[in-house]
Amino acid sequence: MASVDSAGSSVSGWLRPGDLLHAGLAVALLLGVWSVGALEVSTGKVSELYAINGSTVLLPCTYSSCIGIKNLYFNWHYDDNGTMIKLCEAVIPSEGVEPRPKINHDRVTFVGSSKSNNISILLWNITIDDAGNYYCFAKNEKEKFRNHSAVYVLYVVDEIKVIDNTLTVIIVSVLGGVIGFSIIFMVIKGLLIQFVLTGDDKNKECLVSSGNDNTENGVSGAKADNKGTPKA
C-alpha cells in the first residue's frame, strides 16, 4: 500500500491541475493551427457544367495552404462506373515552381500554374461518354502528406435548350404596370384630398368672416332699432 501511495503521490506531483490545463491549451492551439493551415483543393463555387457534345471544357481546380507547400502531389481522376481512371498527375516541388505533368489521356491538356495555385485541365472534343464525375486530388508533404480532394460534375448534351421566358416577362410587366398604376392612383387621390381639404378651409374662413361682419352690422342695427322714440 505504501508503494502505491508513493507512486500515486509521485504521479500527482507530475500532473498538477495547472499542468493539465496548459497541456490542454497547447493541444487545442496545435489543432487550431493545423486546421487553419490545412491543405484544401476546390473546383470553384459552381462545381458542375453542362457542355455540348464535341466541345472543349475546362475542369477547374485550385489548391491552398496557409503554411505553404513542399512536393505537392496532385492528380485528376475520372469515375468510369466505379473504375477510377487517372487522367494526369504531377508534383510541385515548392512555391512558384512549375510542375511537369504526366498526361494519361490523349484529349487532356494541363493548363494550370503553380504561380496561381492552379491545377486545372482541359478536356478536348468531349463525347457523351465523358459525362460523369471528375476528381481533383492533392497531398502536401509539408503537412505530413495531408490530402484533400474535390469533385467536378460534367454533363454532356447534344444541344443547349433555350428556355422561353416570354410568359415570365409578360407576368412581370403586368405586375409592374399594376403596381405603378396603384402608386399613381394613390398620389392623385392624396392630392385631391389635400385640394378638397384646402377648399373647405377657405370656405370656412369665408363663412366665419362673413358671419362676423353680419353680426357686427346686426348688433349695431339692433341697437339703433331698439332706441325708443324720444318723448315729446
* Structure confidence at residue 98 (pLDDT): 97
Is residue 138 within 8 Å of residue 63, measured between CB atoms?
A: yes
Q: 209 pLDDT band (50/70/90 cuts)?
A: low
Give the Cα separation of 224 and 232 in Å (integer).
19
Over range 119-140, report the average pLDDT. Answer: 97
Q: Which amino acid is at 25?
A: L
Residue 41 has pLDDT above 90, yes or no: yes
Residue 187: the pLDDT is 83
Closest by Cα among 140, 135, 150 to 72: 140
Give me the pLDDT at residue 35, please. Answer: 46
Model pLDDT, residue 200: 64
User: Residue 70 corresponds to which cell in the numbers above?
Assistant: 513542399
Beta bridge pairs of residue 134: 78, 152
Q: Would you state the pLDDT for residue 147?
A: 96
Q: What pLDDT does 18 receive? A: 55
221 pLDDT higher than 50: no
For residue 62, the one-letter residue type is T
Indicate whether 151 pLDDT > 70. yes
Residue 202: what pLDDT? 61
Judged against a pLDDT cut of 90, whether residue 225 lies above it is answered with: no
The Cα–Cα gap between 219 and 50 comes to: 97
What is the strand order of the sheet 102-103 is part of? 48-52, 146-157, 132-140, 72-80, 83-92, 102-103
Residue scoring higher pLDDT (226 or 138): 138
Q: What is the pLDDT of residue 20?
A: 47
Q: What percent of the chain has pLDDT over 70?
A: 66
Number of H helices, E strands in the chain: 3, 11
pLDDT at 64 exceeding the cut of 80: yes
pLDDT band for position 214 (50/70/90)?
A: low
